[in-house]
Structure 1
Amino acid sequence: MKRSFVLVAMAFLLIGSFAFGEKAVLIDFSNLEPDIVADENGKPTVNSRTVMDFSKISSIPFDDTQKALMRTSLVLPDWEVQLNSSARIVANMQRSVVKSAPVIGGPFSGKNVMGVRIVFPTAPVNANARIMPPFDIPAFEPMADIDENGQVVEGSQKVNTYRFRKNGDDPAGFGVLDNVGTLKSVSLTTYGYNYPHAVYVLLKDNDGVERRFYMGTLNFDGWKNLIWNNPHYVNDIRNREIKIYPLYPRGLPYAKLSGLLVTRDAAHDGGDFVAYFKQIDVIYDKAVAQTERDIADEDLWGIVTEKEQYRQSLEMRRFGAQQVNRFIEKSNLAQEEGFSSVVTPAEGQ
């Protein structure tokens, strides 16, 4: 079917468009449970929807066993906590982790959510921690069938359908939303323990620009939706600044999750901090309205497809190289736990 893309506004925050708005789940952490690639105990370790194989981009030869260890996904234990320089003490770094937390009561009973433990310094200094996915979530990874070993079934890739985005009847996205124009609101569903620390949602747009959205403090007990409302959002179209862009070959703008940020003020107590996160929702204006056209531009020129494939290749190399380097470093770690005594006591002692 012939379609064109009428791009009327691409500003991430301030500029609106005539396209209808939409509410969508950016990411639901409950959907990131492992379901394939069993360990020695038969327990799944990888999430099939979000699995990435980094062995393909390594210039160093590995055997099949090593390559299998280089497949990772967005399973919650693989997420990282990155402390800032004021908090980056070895003991704090080792104990600051992300886990899959089973919920045994309340509105999300029976589900697993993201559980985060952060150890801030006890000294009176400002500190923060980024909660980051194990890799930069790729915006253009095509949807494909994944086998039980975490490998893409050859020839199963689907055109113009992406694994980390909401597609069709999917219950939620997996970190990427496409066709995003002006953001109206961002919601973070979280469980608090009366900590005074602040939390931010970090989003990155299609130009690679990261923005943070202040959601509020975690100074409450129980489940709560923390909401950021765009103070510059204009509801009346007549008062908006409208910009018209060339119709083709502008690509669809998108927004993707680059992490969460927790900040601790120097005036507040440090030490252990625990919180739980269920999902992130976004209300936004669509950036592109689709209308029928007389010429199938993309079928003829393929400009957008070419650009997306190039960007996907760059993303794969960037975060894939990091994953390979981590695997090599892990294989070089000392295996001995400690020293054993080589002195035998004399007889009679």
Structure 2
Amino acid sequence: MKKTLILVAMAFLLIGAVAVAEEAVILDFQLLNADIIADKAGAMTQNRRTVMDYGAVAGASYTDEQKALMRSSLAIAQWEVKLNSSAQNPTSVALSKVTEAEVSGEAKNFAGQKLMGVRILFPTWANNANAEIRPGFLIPAYEKMTQVDDSGNLQEPTEEDKASGKGRFEGGYGVVRNTGVIKSIAVNTYGMNFPHGLYVLLRDQNNKVTRYFMGYLLFDGWREMIWSNPGYITQVKAREVRLYPVYPTALPHVSFDGFLVTRDAAHDGGDFVGYFKDVKIIYDKAVLTTVRDFADEDIWGIQTEREMKRKKIEVERFGQTQVLRFLEQEKMATEAGFTPSEGSEAAKNSGNNQETNNQ
């Protein structure tokens, strides 16, 4: 018996002598192309997989038609550039934006893919400035897998959706679950010899946002920029070992919160242009995936209740902002110019043209 225990202990030491980490794509911008809900010009505006409906928090004073328009998603064009106060002016705010950018079909890397393109107009005077590139809402970690129709309406989850055990924003859409210590982060980006710094922003299950410095964008062409955790301990024996309750503790997770581009006062300002393909992480699992003798969640439903509360908070937080933006969009003037004054030659010509068109 003693000999058996020694052999088992040695086996665990051999297995755990070096920590083994998992790799996952937290966000792939190729997956975020707009593919549903066309605008007046016929261009698609939303990404099917990541559509969020905030009409439910708009209140009873809005019509069903208005609520139907109150949707957002992680479609690339829906992302925003937020300049810090020292970098804000009407021109820079108006011109700084995010758009879909298609890679040349003859390119060596990512040929033909539609990725994220960013333009930021930094001030030209000598002061530190930065800009955050963020989605229009906080990426929810507790959104259950479900299908979305062509109009952006969420359907009831199918048995296959439920069996997947994954959320709608996992698998390259912004969320990675069961994350312990992060070992490294990688960003595939296309540099254009700008001396600006790049950070990745990740939000954890406690709503804490951490910045990870990836390096400077002073290069030309594609590069995988990597951040390595200087405090990562590879030897298990040197780690602080802790045990957590298996249930009902919710699995730790990280969600993508955005990029941060920093411009130093010593460097030239003006336009910055960059392109991004994806963000990947290598991490330790927080909990080993094991087969349980009891379907704990089906019996008690504790995690489901917690997730629904958090989901409601997340949806309401981004929903109120989106409703205000929708109303502002409705109030914006659409006239391209003034109507000619009555009796003027321009008014007469306009009337003649209208009569000709009617004929």
Which residue of structure 2 lines up, in the alignment, with residue 27 of structure 1? 27
- 2:135 corresponds in structure 1 to 133
Larger Rg: 2
Deviation of 1:244 after TM superposition, in Å, equals 1.6
For 2:168, the aligned partner's letter is R
Listed one character per residue, the Cα deviations across residues 238-292 of structure 1 (whole Å, up to 9, x for unaligned) are 1111122223211110000000000000000001000000000100000001334
2:187 maps to 188
* Cα contact 1:176–1:256 (8 A) shared by 2: yes
Query: Does 2:121 match 1:119?
Result: yes
Matched, 1:82 2:82: yes
Gaps spanning 5+ residues in structure 2: where?
1-15, 346-359
How far, CA to CA, are the matches of 1:243 and 1:194 in structure 2? 45
Query: In the alignment, is the contact (CA less than 8 A) between 1:118 and 1:129 conserved in 2?
Result: yes
C-alpha displacement of 1:18: 9.1
Alignment of 1:1-349 (within 5 A): 20-104=20-104, 105-154=107-156, 156=158, 158-159=161-162, 160-166=165-171, 173-340=172-339, 342=341, 344=344
Amino acid at match of 1:313: K
User: Does structure 1 conserve the Cα–Cα contact (< 8 Å) formed by 2:145 and 2:157?
Assistant: no
What's the Cα RMSD here?
Answer: 2.0
Kept after mapping to 2: 8 A contact 1:198/1:262: yes
> Relative CO higher for 1 or 2, CA cutoff 8 Å, sep ≥ 6?
1
Residue in 2 aligned with 1:8? none
Residues in 2 aligned to 1:129 and 1:213: alpha-carbon distance in whole angstroms:
15
Look up the equivalent residue of 1:61 and give its one-letter code.
S
Task: Report if the CA contact (8 A) 1:201-1:259 is conserved.
Answer: yes
- Deviation larger for 90-99 or 50-59: 50-59
CA distance in 2 between counterparts of 1:155 and 1:180 reads 25
Q: Which runs of 5+ in 1 are unaligned?
A: 1-15, 167-172
Task: Please give the per-residue CA displacement for 1:194-251, whole angstroms capped at 9, x wherever unaligned.
Answer: 0000000000000000000000000000000000000000101011111222232111
Shift of 1:344: 3.9
Which range moves more in the overlay, 58-67 or 318-327? 58-67
When residues 269 and 161 of structure 1 are mapped into structure 2, their CA distance, relative to the original with a 3 A threshold, is same
- Conserved in 2, the CA contact under 8 Å of 1:50 and 1:73? yes
- The one-letter code sitting in structure 1 at the alignment partner of 2:29 is F
Partner SS for 2:282: strand
The answer (yes or no) to whether the contact 1:188–1:226 under 8 Å persists in 2 is yes
CA distance in 2: counterparts of 1:33 and 1:68, whole angstroms: 21
Once the two structures are TM-superposed, the CA of residue 313 in structure 1 deviates from its matched residue by: 1.2
Alpha carbons 2:138, 2:318 under 8 Å: kept: yes
CA–CA distance in 2 between the matches of 1:249 and 1:279? Answer: 33
Q: Which amino acid aligns with 1:142?
A: K
> How far off is 1:67 after superposition?
2.5
- Cα gap change, 1:317 to 1:236, in 2 (>3 Å): same
1:21: how far off? 1.8
Would you tell me which structure has more helix in proportion to its own residues?
2
Q: CA deviation at 1:156?
A: 4.2
Shift of 1:322: 1.0
Overall identity of the aligned pairs, in %: 49
Alpha-carbon contact 1:145-1:153 (below 8 Å) kept: yes
